[in-house]
Amino acid sequence: MSEWLPLPEPAYSPHELMRILIAEDDSILADGLSRSLRYEGYAVDVVNDGSSADSALQLQSFDLLILDLDLPALNGLSVLRMLRQRQSSLPVLILTAADTIEQRVRGLDLGADDYMAKPFALSELEARVRALTRRSAGTGLALLRHKRLTFDLNGRTARIDDQPLELSARETSLLEIFLSRCGRMISKNQLVDLLCEWGEEVTTNAIEVYIYRLRKKLEPSGARIVTIRGLGYCLEPDTGEPAAA
């Protein structure tokens, strides 16, 4: 995977009232997650051990906890157990490098809301975060609309008018990234980071191929992914005005 690059400030903050706590002792992973979620408009706090996570959860209100199970000082399952013993209904997304059935069952039985095994694609984690924070906010909004295109965030399926749009897994993730950042520039390297699983290699040349294929499939919808020369790509806003020359 390419090196994490600085992200521009978001053009808007749709989640400005949403605060997320990340409890992760891998500093590189924690930094990547926090910067990505801040770019999405969330307020993000990071702790690197279980004891600090438990203290933060008692002192501050959050809308979501992203919890690594293998934390020092106090493991993630203990943090989760104490959180639920306090009768907290805070949504919890568990991260773990050891994805076993027994561990998943134990975490879910203790009150976790979702589970992701490392390595994972950042775009999938972002989608799960959106689903959990929507649930936390009490909204069922699950459709992104752009011109004649709709995208179901839960089923991760796209339609043009009422016709299903056949997309590969990569194209689906790419479309979700552009729709959730409509009107905002995204560089090739940022797309690599968002599309790849941790440790997976995807070249910027491959990104160009995915975008070419996606553009062709989106043509009937009127949605346009424009190239910003020397910078990256942008999904043209639904205003009738071009996003870039």
The domain ranges of the chain are 19-137, 143-235
Query: Hey, which CATH number is domain 143-235, 1.20.120.420, 2.40.160.20, 1.10.10.10, 3.40.50.300?
Result: 1.10.10.10
Most confident of 162-176, 189-203, 212-226: 212-226
Find out whether 73 and 100 touch, Cβ atoms under 8 Å.
Answer: no
Taking residues 32-39, what's their average pLDDT?
86
Topology alike, domains 19-137 and 143-235 = no
**Position 9 pLDDT exceeds 80:** no
* pLDDT score for 244: 39
**Position 69 pLDDT exceeds 70:** yes
Quick one: pLDDT band at residue 217, thresholds 50, 70, 90? very high
Q: How far apart are CA 39 and CA 228, in angstroms?
A: 19
CATH architecture type of domain 19-137: 3-Layer(aba) Sandwich (3.40)
Q: How many CA atoms lie within 13 A of 5 on its CB side?
A: 14
Indicate the length of the chain as a whole number.
245
**Position 154 pLDDT exceeds 80:** no
Q: What average pLDDT is seen over the chain?
A: 82
